[in-house]
A = this chain, B = another copy of it.
Amino acid sequence: MSIHIHHIAIVVDDLDEALAFYQQALGLTLAERRAVPEEEVEIAFLPAGEGEIELLRPLDDRSGVARFLAKRGEGVHHVCLRVDDVEAAMARLQAAGAHLLSETPQVNPHGVRYVFVHPKSAHGVLVELYEVKGDE
């Protein structure tokens, strides 16, 4: 099984200000920015080699991302690793006693299957596993 860093998601208060830093000051390039109302966030994608930096801001104060921001402040929200078989990865994690946030893979609007591992199992990190088939 191959595992690559897919993205690092950073939750911010103000997406314009955060983009000013990550684009102009740091030199990353904005690939896409869009609201995802079903997840109550606005997201900006900034590729960095084979991975990317994602900046998230909550669209309301009810979502999990909003509660994270209120409790912990700005910073890394989750780390996403791409795997070639999310069910095999889930079976391995469950066999090791790790706590997953869903019992079966979730599916995003692009048809990609993913799952989150609880930060208590992953030593303080909310880890997302994102399935990309045919990963070398």
Check A30 for interface membership: any CB of B closer than 8 A. Answer: no
Let me know if B27 and A125 touch, CB within 8 A.
Answer: no
CA distance A109 to B65 in the complex (A): 39
Not counting A20-B96, A24-B96, a sample of 8 additional A-B residue pairs whose C-beta atoms are within 8 angstroms of each other reads: A5-B53, A21-B98, A22-B122, A25-B92, A73-B124, A74-B124, A75-B119, A75-B124
CB of A18 within 8 Å of the partner chain: yes
Main secondary structure of the interface of A (DSSP, over half): mixed
One of B1, B4, B48 near A49 (C-beta < 8 A): B4
Count of chain A residues with Cβ under 8 Å from any Cβ of B? 49
Task: Tell me whether A26 and B124 are in contact (CB under 8 A).
Answer: no
Q: Does A59 contact B (CB under 8 A)?
A: no
Residue in chain B with minimal CB distance to A73: B124
The residue that A10 contacts in the complex, of B4, B22, B95, B123, with Cβ under 8 A, is B123
Query: Beyond A21-B96, A25-B98, is A76–B125 a contact (Cβ under 8 Å)?
Result: yes
